[in-house]
């Protein structure tokens, strides 16, 4: 992500290439940051998904840091600020790692149904599909757990069974 003009151009190219949605980092802010991207997505009837808490171990360094809400002066974790922005800005979804089901549940409460939760990090990074779904994830993003498995079809079936329990 970058300044608004760059975000707008990137969004236009991705959507022209056939992408249905784009994942963006809300850290750049709204004015001259995310707004142009959201405008393009809305105009083209495409989705916007905001990073809220990533799945890797180092995510705590950025998404878990304490920030001050400029409107309330309340000290809150960065991911809470990002979840609130997703709801305020009208994002279609947020990314919250399956490795942190407690964060999924917290973000679900903040969003109050205004956006869906996409959870990466299932399997290889240590996230459990069933725990993420129970916590409130709407979708799982699964990569290496399936693609690097000796039998990808069996790995996918195993994951599917774990969330249907």
120 within 8 A of 94, measured Cβ to Cβ: no
For domain 4-163, which architecture applies? Alpha-Beta Barrel (3.20)
pLDDT of 2:
87
This prediction's pTM? 0.94
Cβ neighbours of residue 89 closer than 8 Å, sequence gap 6 or more: 26, 30, 34, 38, 48, 50
Chain centroid offset of residue 78 CA: 14
Digit-coded pLDDT (tens) for 124-154:
999 999 999 999 999 999 999 999 999 999 9
Across the chain, mean pLDDT equals 96
Q: At what angle do helices 4-16 and 35-43 cross, to 10 degrees?
A: 30
pLDDT of 118:
99
pLDDT of 142:
95
- The residues of the chain scoring below 70 in pLDDT are none
User: Domain limits of the chain?
Assistant: 4-163
């Amino acid at each position: 992500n970058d300044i608004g003009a760059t975000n707008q151009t990137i969004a236009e190219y991705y959507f022209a290439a056939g992408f249905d949605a784009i994942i963006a980092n809300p850290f750049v802010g709204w004015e001259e940051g995310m707004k142009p991207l959201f405008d393009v997505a809305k105009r083209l009837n495409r989705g916007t998904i905001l990073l809220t808490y990533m799945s890797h171990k180092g995510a705590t360094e950025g998404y878990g840091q304490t920030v001050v809400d400029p409107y309330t002066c309340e000290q809150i974790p960065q991911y809470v600020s990002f979840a609130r922005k997703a709801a305020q800005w009208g994002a279609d979804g947020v990314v919250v790692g399956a490795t942190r089901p407690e964060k999924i549940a917290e973000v679900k409460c903040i969003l109050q149904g205004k956006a869906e939760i996409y959870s990466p990090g299932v399997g290889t990074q240590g996230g459990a599909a069933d725990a993420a779904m129970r916590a409130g994830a709407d979708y799982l993003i699964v990569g290496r757990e399936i693609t690097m498995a000796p039998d990808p079809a069996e790995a996918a079936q195993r994951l599917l069974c774990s969330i249907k329990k």
